[in-house]
Structure 1
């Protein structure tokens, strides 16, 4: 049937018009063909639009699946463009997120770590592997201490201990942590972060006292007040 239809179509397009010169085929070639453009490289996809509200966990729910958006848009209403394999999220006509569409078991999450607030991202990245990398960036003593913590505690407890340890890096320089940890490993067969804190505080106090002694010594050597000294009056000019 299709072959017969195309045969008749070709006849129809090539037959001359009755009331004007030319044919449908000639009109197409002379007037319309030059305006044609190549087809898009990707096939057209049927699109569905929905409105969703960003939840407090910075995800939207679409057909009982959850997709993240930047956490700045929490509580906002967004437009969602759905195709068979993609989800795009728009806020005031600006695309703010896109995800591969989830299929299968309901309740799945698609989360982009860039959408997380900083504290959530840090929590997600707080794992044994990243703690090892951090320790190696500080020095061999910290690396040994971190390995000991991970080896001798269940993972959840170890990560809590390591969180406390890493907080110390905001208060002390790397060389101070390394020096204190070396002392800790030398004096203890069961090293703990609390003992490390004590060592750091003691060493900090020692440095402060040493600096105070130096400052006092320099102050006593200065001539000040009404005691000008022999040099002021020219006695030691010889």
Structure 2
């Protein structure tokens, strides 16, 4: 499948160019064709915007200015290169012939090369005279990272279980200043946390981070253009650097960090062999002590230690750390519901977005403290994360005028509206709200009572409420019946209520209560 250069890749190109990299070196660092870099640099110049302005632009603006360009992967060629690795191991076996392996290759390959091309590609990869080149590393240019193959261990204090832990290793190749940390796993969260700790240990940021093709860093490995994990790419954007994975099946690309791992076995693993640790914190505290001694060891030929070389040469070439530490981001997709909220599945909660996005498909970016909602690479909502399940987080600016009206419902809201139609209406509203078992039910009855003024007027509504209070019959339906049957306008009804007299006339043949004692 073809890969695409997304806006974050474009920002990496711009960042490296501003750091003084040539187009060829940018292509080599990012694993992108030099012609692709050349084309984008021409597009950047033609945009009539400075590179710093483009770097400060959001992803949506960059995508609009520079539509994604595809770069073609070649699975046929990669398949052949992988097959050559097996052939080369058997090269010295008695009876070895290229023709035998070519016939075997033809049987398994989907689109086999011809024999002539087969041999041509083999000879290009494995030249007869193959020497190794000593790479010169510019100070502050790269940080190599890897995990050690062998693990350390901690003990669960309560159960006595021995737990294996991973060991992360980072090195600045110019000074060979090394950082080592134990962590629970190679998963993305632990991996990115270790990378952040390494940068804090160095007190600065290199131009590029060179990683192995582990899954936490690379979603899809390739010898020519790896697909970087989105969270790791976002980590690099936060620290203003780029990610440059090593080529698959090319251990020479990370020889320095491999050597650092072997030295860690000698200088850190071996002194810890007889020690027992009950937590990662205890283990890392001891590793830090040994790391100080390791970085202070003198190189015999250079007459300086790793720490001295780092402080005198490399540290000044590192970029400054950002003001805040990186918070790991995760991603979810969600459709905006009719009520104007997106459902956030990790916490089973809801967050509001502007009502005009109802029905749209969005992407949620979230950390341990914040929740951001994006639509077409543009952020449309930002909330503080609420871990309580089933909660609704609402920004009033996101609500439509109708939604805002309903959101205002409260006892004070209805008392204020009722007071416009008379003190008796306000008294009835207060009784109705208090008597309800559930606030929203009381609110609906109160709203229904207030709306009666549209059909009967405020004066009649106030009179009807007065009669209902006197008769201890305060209820929406009863007040409505008083108005419907014009009982609020009946003089007999008024007189009996006001004078508190019986409606039965006085008569001599009618016995009173005294006759029944």
Kept in 1, the 8 Å contact 2:425–2:465? The answer is no
User: Quick one: distance in 2 between partners of 1:195 and 1:76?
Assistant: 49
Kept in 2, the 8 Å contact 1:135–1:142? The answer is yes
**Which TM-score applies when normalising by structure 1?**
0.57
In the TM superposition, residue 73 of structure 1 has moved relative to its aligned partner by 1.3
Select which of 317, 320, 332 maps to 1:50: 332
User: Quick one: distance in 2 between partners of 1:187 and 1:50?
Assistant: 58
**Equivalence map 1:223-238=2 (5 Å):** none
Larger deviation, residues 186-195 vs 54-63: 186-195
Select which of 138, 157, 164 maps to 2:448: 164
- Give the match for residue 74 of structure 1: 358
Do structure 1's residue 142 and structure 2's residue 436 form an aligned pair? no
In the TM superposition, residue 88 of structure 1 has moved relative to its aligned partner by 0.4
User: Quick one: distance in 2 between partners of 1:171 and 1:138?
Assistant: 13
Do structure 1's residue 60 and structure 2's residue 347 form an aligned pair? no
Select which of 367, 372, 382 maps to 1:83: 367
User: Quick one: distance in 1 between partners of 2:386 and 2:380?
Assistant: 18
Structure 1 gaps, min length 5: 16-22, 203-238
Do structure 1's residue 7 and structure 2's residue 296 form an aligned pair? yes
Kept in 2, the 8 Å contact 1:58–1:70? The answer is yes
Kept in 2, the 8 Å contact 1:113–1:121? The answer is no
- Structure with bigger helix share is 1
**CA shift digits 1:118-145 (9 cap, x unpaired):** 4444444434343123334554333223
Structure 2 gaps, min length 5: 1-289, 299-303, 490-517
Select which of 132, 141, 160 maps to 2:415: 132
Decide whether aligned partners of structure 1 residues 58 and 186 sit closer, same or farther in structure 2, where only a CA change above 3 A counts. Answer: closer
Secondary structure of residue in 2 paired with 1:87: strand
- Give the match for residue 224 of structure 1: none
**Which TM-score applies when normalising by structure 2?**
0.30
**CA shift digits 1:71-122 (9 cap, x unpaired):** 32122111211112221001123221223334365xx232316344444444
Q: What count of residue pairs does the alignment treat as equivalent?
A: 183
User: Quick one: distance in 2 between partners of 1:63 and 1:150?
Assistant: 35
Kept in 2, the 8 Å contact 1:71–1:116? The answer is yes
Runs of 4+ in 1 over 6 A off after TM superposition: none
Secondary structure of residue in 1 paired with 2:305: helix
Kept in 2, the 8 Å contact 1:78–1:90? The answer is yes
Kept in 1, the 8 Å contact 2:334–2:344? The answer is yes
- Give the match for residue 195 of structure 1: 482
User: Quick one: distance in 2 between partners of 1:14 and 1:148?
Assistant: 80
